[in-house]
Amino acid sequence: MKNGITFTSVINKDQFQTGIWDPYHYRSLNNTSKLSDFITIEKITSRGNLKLLPFEPIEYKDIPRGNMIGFHLKPQINEYIDNTKLPIVPENTILFGTMRAYLGNVLVTPKSKWMFKPNCWFAINSEFVVIRPKDELNYFWWAFLKSPIFLSTLPTGTGGTRPRSNLEQLGNTPVSIPSIEDRTKINNELLQIAERYWEETMLLQNILNNSGLY
């Protein structure tokens, strides 16, 4: 397969569906766990006035390569911006990039208190879906969804020259997930790192803003 793995699905006659040509459709039928057993996947439906938000819209380019727990978040300083409305998400929300070329673009929006702002919302200007873990361990799932072991199992996507991850196929991806105890431990450790990252990032930004150099 294009993503570097091969697989074989053996199904019963009554599981066969006429008109279904995609082999990924059958891949999870004989597996005990799939991604949708642990999370829900939602499209972003809320929209907000960009002029009223504290930060510029988040795009794929703002997510650095590698294992950076944060991302580039630029303060909204353009006083001439119009009343454009964009998709918005609240604090502590997992976003997963759906365009195949950008799979692995996963982020968690920071908590408002880390940004020293009340009830902070974030505008989105790239193709993301919202991931809502049933165990609410956002930072464990941030790590899992960007891990090579997970990304290598994803379907190649649909959409011609700019393929996108199909939400149904994404949810049907077979997964092997650690115990709740292990997930909680990993999440708590990453959560502490994320809090330090954002608080230090905001402190740095305040120092630069007050320096008269920026």
Q: What is the CATH number of the domain that holds 118?
A: 3.90.220.20
182 lies in which domain range? 13-211
Decide if 22 is inside a domain. Answer: yes
Q: What mean pLDDT is predicted for residues 159-171?
A: 69
pLDDT at residue 166, rounded to an integer: 77
- 110 forms beta bridges with none
Most confident range, picked from 12-16, 160-164, 186-190: 186-190
Using DSSP's 3-state secondary structure scheme, residue 190 falls into: helix
Q: How far apart are CA 138 and CA 115, in angstroms?
A: 18
Decide if 104 is inside a domain. Answer: yes
Pairing of strands 39-42, 94-97: unpaired
Decide if 128 is inside a domain. Answer: yes
Q: How far apart are CA 51 and CA 179, in angstroms?
A: 43
Q: How far apart are CA 74 and CA 5, in angstroms?
A: 38
Q: How far apart are CA 154 and CA 98, in angstroms?
A: 11
Q: What mean pLDDT is predicted for residues 68-95?
A: 87
Q: Who has greater pLDDT, 55 or 12? A: 55
Per-residue pLDDT band at 101 (split at 50, 70, 90): low
Burial of 6 (0-12, 13-18, 19+ CB in 10 A): exposed
Residue 177: Cβ within 10 Å count: 15
pLDDT at residue 156, rounded to an integer: 60
pLDDT at residue 5, rounded to an integer: 52
Residue 133 carries which side chain, given as an amino acid letter? P
Per-residue pLDDT band at 112 (split at 50, 70, 90): very high
Q: How far apart are CA 143 and CA 197, in angstroms?
A: 16
Q: How many domains does the chain have?
A: 1
Decide if 2 is inside a domain. Answer: no
Q: How far apart are CA 117 and CA 2, in angstroms?
A: 44
Mean pLDDT over each residue of the chain, to the nearest integer: 84
pLDDT at residue 212, rounded to an integer: 78
Evaluate if residue 77 carries a pLDDT over 80: no
Per-residue pLDDT band at 2 (split at 50, 70, 90): very low
Decide if 4 is inside a domain. Answer: no
Give the position of tokens 């996963």.
Answer: 106
Q: What mean pLDDT is predicted for residues 159-170?
A: 68
The DSSP element (H or E) to which 132 belongs, if any, is strand 128-133
Decide if 37 is inside a domain. Answer: yes
Q: What mean pLDDT is predicted for residues 36-56?
A: 93
- DSSP symbol at 66: S
3-state DSSP: the chain helix, strand, coil percent, rounded to 5?
35, 20, 50
Residue 202: Cβ within 10 Å count: 17
Per-residue pLDDT band at 4 (split at 50, 70, 90): very low
Region of poorest pLDDT, from 147-151, 156-160, 178-182 = 156-160
Evaluate if residue 78 carries a pLDDT over 80: no
